Amino acid sequence: MRVWFITGASRGFGFHIARLALEQGDAVVATARDLSLIEKGLGTDAENLHMVELDVTSEAESNSAVAQAVAKFGRIDVLVNNAGRGFAGAIEESSDDEVRATFEVNVFGLLNVTRAALPVFRSQRSGLIINISSIGGFIAGAGGGIYCATKFAVEGISESLQAELTPLGVDVTLVEPGGFRTDFFDPSSMVFASTVIDDYTGTSGAFRKRVLLGNHQQVGDPLKAAAAIVSLATLPRPPLRLVLGTTAAERMEKKLGDVAADLAAWRHVTLSTEFDELT
């Protein structure tokens, strides 16, 4: 029996991961700001379910939640950093407060929970950290710059964590989903910049419209995504990156091709910037 610690477990990927883990006989510490949503979806009778109220932006609450998990089940085998929020708006449209609020949840919240759990993983010399990123953590576009910046940060953190934790027996996986039919585009998750600048109507404005029109129309099946994520815990060597969805794969392949083309085209400049050899 594995012990899962899941943030943002009240809906979306977090909820489905928690449900699947429970169904396969694992123990789940399900955290959210509103536990009533978890109770409604998962019930209160499961012996292996422990619910903890958690605002990931609080370092104290993160430390307490991890301590409760260990007190209840004795260990943590899988940490799923799923809690997050969306944000849409051009860079110029995004206020300082709006940007900081997005980073507080998506980056500093993830760090709070991860730092709280790392002593547990180190003492066990085992474990898996699954950070829910996004294809937006690999490629950004108009209107999504702030959100993508938070996910780019998660990618850098995760790559460093992998380098630091692999010698200690702890694995790290980034999950990079494309569009999946969750509640992510709902007002409870997606925030729009309060300022609208007409000059960006065709760029970030078009992105805002796609978000509004695309809610619950995405082609990705969240149940299949959750099953793929849960299966990571069974692998002897989980991948650093797991891309989910056809569109996500296509976008990643295009960027990799674009980067390779730029590197090849400008290689002569790239290689010309070192000191000349001393003779």
**Catalytic pick among 147, 158, 200, 204:** 147
Which of 134, 137, 133 lies closest to 172, judged by CA?
133
The residue from 133, 134, 158, 204 that is catalytic is 133
Annotation marks residue 58 as catalytic: no
Is 151 a residue of the active site?
Answer: yes
Strand partners, 86: 190
Contact criterion met (CB below 8 Å) for 83 and 71: no
Q: Is 133 a catalytic residue?
A: yes
Contact 34, 51 (CB under 8 A): no
Q: Considering 10, 62, 134, 151, which one is annotated as catalytic?
A: 151
Single out the residue of 57, 56, 114, 79 nearest to residue 5, CA to CA: 79
Catalytic residues: 133, 147, 151
